[in-house]
Structure 1
Amino acid sequence: MGPDEEDNNRWPPWMKPLLREQFFVQCKLHLDSHKSECNMYCLDCMNGALCSFCLAYHKDHRYIQIRRSSYHDVIRVSEIQKYLDISGIQTYVINSAKVVFINERPQPRPGKGVINNCEVCDRSLVDSFRFCSLGCKFVGTSKNLQNKRQMRMESGSEDSSFSSSHGKLKKKKKNDENNKVQSFSHLTTPPISINHRSAKRRKGIPHRAPMAQV
């Protein structure tokens, strides 16, 4: 079994479509209806975002409601934990309810004094969680990423030892070259010589001519 097959078995089939789906758009089937915003998702059909009127065609199906916080999609913990293991994901309290974010959120600057970060996007985390969202856990626990990390760590240690030794050799070589340049310039620079012929002679003390006698 390859890494991709293991990842597919670890996660439910609706996980990838959920992460890629765009919510809070107008429903194409109920354009004339009030409150036809697509903020529902059927875990059994996986046929895109749904509005509240679309749920009439999904009776006895499993579905979750998507909510918004600061222009980002979230799901209540009480809903998603029925179908998915959300351990290791940072939770937040919004409107008196615990939620998790669906996808990562850009963070231009890391938080000050924060020592715990998301393993995928490096977003600052308050507690000892590993991921900031469902999407980051999906990516961070995949076999392909873990293999890449292992290879990167191994190659990184080799590169660091190589770069360290290479840096020492390079520094030594540079010092040797500087010494050679200095010794070479010392040998090849002609000494400053004074040309006595071309040098200006200091004028002597002028002597007044003797006065003529009358």
Structure 2
Amino acid sequence: MQTAAVRGAPQWLRGLLSEEFFDACAAHPGERKNDKNHFCVDCAAALCRHCLPHDPAHDVLQIWKYASCFVVRVDDLKLFDCTGIQSHTVSDHEVVFLNERTARKRSASAENPCAACARPLPSGHNYCSLFCKVKHLGESEQEQGLRRALRANRQAAAGGGEEAEPQNGKRRASSETGPSCGGSFRKRSRKQPEPARSPFC
């Protein structure tokens, strides 16, 4: 089971690798094009297009399909170092597969097998997917490698900022910045203050 294999990963990464994308969104059953093809990193939840925008401060990834598999753009995945994962170019964007691929024959004796699933890879790559890198690094060096691959926060990923994410991988409650993905995405009605009355003469 994939969730067990990536047990040492933070919640958002476990959710990203175990989610079934492109299923119909339960929150918007009557809407057209309600397939869940987005993922909120802050809430570790899959979203459809009608769930957006919910909180502009949250980091949302768009999930794509390539060769019948889920892929994500490398440029969008700011909180994880994708170095060593075999990438593919789709519509001028570099993408990586989320989950290990099973269609091709695996062979540990191949010239350059995937370090996690032994799928043959082109030279210069160590993993066939994000899942395989997370699984392999989580199993080696008492998860030190996985911690190194995880970027502390989006400020650090962007090259600035000093604030680090807590060591347990949990983020601060999203109530500080706005409604979470689990709640309603409708705009809250604001109470209008009562107009000030003019003093009686």
User: TM-score, structure 2 length as denominator?
Assistant: 0.61
Moved over 6 A (4+): none
Alignment equivalent of 2:96, drawn from 93, 100, 112: 100
**Structure 1: runs of 5+ lacking an equivalent:** 1-6, 148-214
**Match of residue 32 from structure 2:** 34
Matches within 5 A, 1:138-157: 138-142=134-138, 144-145=139-140
Q: Structure 2: which 5+ runs fail to align?
A: 1-6, 143-201
Which structure would you say has the larger Rg?
A: 1
Which residue is 2:82 aligned to?
86
Q: Aligned partners of 1:43, 1:105: CA distance in 2, in Å?
A: 23
SS of equivalent residue, structure 2 residue 21 = coil
Tell me the distance in 2 between the aligned counterparts of 1:133 and 1:105.
7
Q: Distance in 2 between matches of 1:85 and 1:12?
A: 14
Rounded to whole Å, the distance in 2 between the matches of 1:62 and 1:49 is 12
SS at match of 1:56: coil
Partner amino acid, structure 2, of 1:122: A
Compute the RMSD of aligned alpha carbons.
2.2
Q: Report 1:162-177 matches (<5 A).
A: none
Superposed counterparts of 1:62-73, under 5 Å: 62-73=59-70
Instruction: Pick 1 or 2: higher relative contact order, CA cutoff 8 A, min separation 6.
Output: 2
Structure 2: distance between partners of 1:108 and 1:101: 14
8 Å Cα contact 1:140/1:146 also seen in 2: no
Residue equivalent to 1:14 = 12
The answer to which of 69-78 and 12-21 deviates more is 12-21
Letter of the 1:67 counterpart: W
The Cα of 1:110 is off from its aligned counterpart by 4.9
> Which residue of structure 2 aligns with residue 55 of structure 1?
52
Give the percent of matched residue pairs that are identical in Structure 1 and Structure 2: 34
Contact persistence 1:90–1:127 (CA under 8 A): no
Write 1 or 2 for the structure with the bigger share of helix: 1
**TM-score, with normalisation over the residues of structure 1?**
0.58
Number of aligned residue pairs: give it: 135
